């Protein structure tokens, strides 16, 4: 081992040397993790005006248009002593009134015991008779950014399919139980996985720093002995 190498190792094994190594390490990790972002900054800046123009065109296109969609769907666990319920939120995200909205709910093996619609005026709501697995609800209108909440007392807390349409929107939009369960899983899984990865990253970082300090301390003692 040459004198120059020994001198370099002595400098590295000091407190200042450890600090410098840790700073370099963290900077390297940061640059590596954000390399893709750094390479795209100029491209994003150059296309900012084009994106703004596209957003404005989309906004103008959607202006004065009703946009019916599904909001929250809530299926709580079935209680033992109280009636089971399912809740559907039907919303209008557009800037125009959705006229003559129709909600067709197929509960599959379950049956409607009772229901209530909250949100629109009661005079604007009409529905089919209870006792079957099908429930059809008609709303004279859903105002812009308004939601209709449909509470259904059911024999079993489940459903097969829900479809919505109106005179102000094109086509029929529907969702099945399988799609609802898949969408709920997609929303929760990334958050949970991100939390686990955060914990794992913190653990690995702590262990790496600890072993780096121990290694440099041993190296410093070894050089002093020589």
CATH of the domain at 75: 2.60.40.1170
User: Which residues, at least 6 apart from 36, have a Cβ–Cβ distance to it below 8 Å?
Assistant: none
The boundaries of the domain holding residue 131 are: 64-171
Are residues 110 and 142 in contact, defined by beta-carbon separation less than 8 angstroms? no
DSSP 80-147: SSS-EEEEEEEEE-SSS-EEEEEEEEE-TT--EEEEEEESS-GGGEEEPPSSSSEEEEEEEEE-TT-E
Tell me the per-residue pLDDT of 107-136, one tens digit each, with 9 for 90 and over: 998 999 999 998 878 778 888 888 899 999
Place of tokens 């700073």: 23
Evaluate whether residue 113 is within a structural domain. Answer: yes
Give me the pLDDT at residue 59, please: 53
* Chain segment 144-185, per-residue pLDDT in tens: 989 999 999 999 888 999 999 999 888 899 999 888 888 754
Is residue 202 in some structural domain? no
Please give the average per-residue pLDDT across 78-107, as a whole number: 88
In a domain, 212, yes or no: no
- For residues 129 and 28, give the distance between their C-alpha atoms in angstroms, rounded to a whole number: 67
121 or 142: which leads in pLDDT: 142
Q: Evaluate whether 86 touches 103 at the Cβ level (below 8 Å).
A: no
Distance CA 10, CA 12 (A): 5
Confidence of residue 224 (pLDDT cuts 50, 70, 90): low
Q: How far apart are CA 23 and CA 16, in angstroms?
A: 11
- Give the end-to-end CA distance of the chain in Å, rounded to a whole number: 11
Is 206 buried (19+), middle (13-18) or exposed (0-12) by CB count in 10 A? exposed
Q: Number of structural domains, the chain?
A: 1
Domain membership flag for residue 10: no
Q: In terms of pTM, does the model score above 0.85?
A: no
How many CA atoms, within 13 angstroms, populate the side-chain half-sphere of residue 75?
13
Supply the pLDDT for residue 136.
93
- The string of pLDDT tens digits covering residues 45-91 is 444 544 555 555 455 445 578 788 888 888 877 777 778 899 999 99
* 114 found inside a domain: yes
In 3D, which of 180, 179, 162 has the Cα closest to residue 101?
Answer: 162
Does a structural domain hold residue 223?
A: no
> What pLDDT score was predicted for residue 45?
44
- Please check whether residue 7 lies inside any domain of the structure: no
44 pLDDT tier (thresholds 50, 70, 90):
very low
Residue 220 lies in a domain: no
């Amino acid at each position: 081992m040459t004198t120059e190498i020994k001198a370099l190792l002595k400098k590295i094994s000091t407190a200042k040397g450890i600090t410098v190594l840790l700073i370099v390490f963290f900077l390297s990790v940061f640059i590596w993790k954000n390399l893709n972002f750094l390479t795209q900054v100029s491209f994003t800046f150059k296309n900012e005006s084009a994106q703004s123009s596209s957003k404005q065109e989309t906004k103008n296109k959607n202006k004065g248009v009703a946009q019916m969609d599904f909001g929250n769907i809530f299926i709580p666990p079935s209680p033992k002593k109280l009636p089971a319920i399912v809740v559907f939120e039907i919303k209008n995200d557009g800037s125009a009134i959705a006229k003559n909205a129709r909600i067709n709910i197929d509960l599959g093996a379950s049956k409607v015991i009772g229901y209530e619609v909250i949100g629109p005026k009661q005079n604007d709501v009409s529905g089919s008779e209870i006792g079957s697995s099908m429930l059809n609800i008609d709303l004279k209108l859903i105002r812009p950014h308004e939601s209709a909440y449909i509470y259904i007392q059911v024999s079993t807390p489940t459903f097969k399919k829900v479809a919505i349409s109106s005179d102000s929107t094109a086509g029929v939009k529907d969702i099945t139980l399988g799609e609802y369960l898949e969408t709920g899983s997609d929303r929760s899984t990334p958050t949970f996985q991100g939390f686990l990865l955060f914990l794992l990253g913190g653990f690995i970082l702590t262990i790496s720093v600890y072993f780096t300090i121990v290694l440099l301390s041993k190296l410093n003692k070894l050089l002093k002995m020589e």
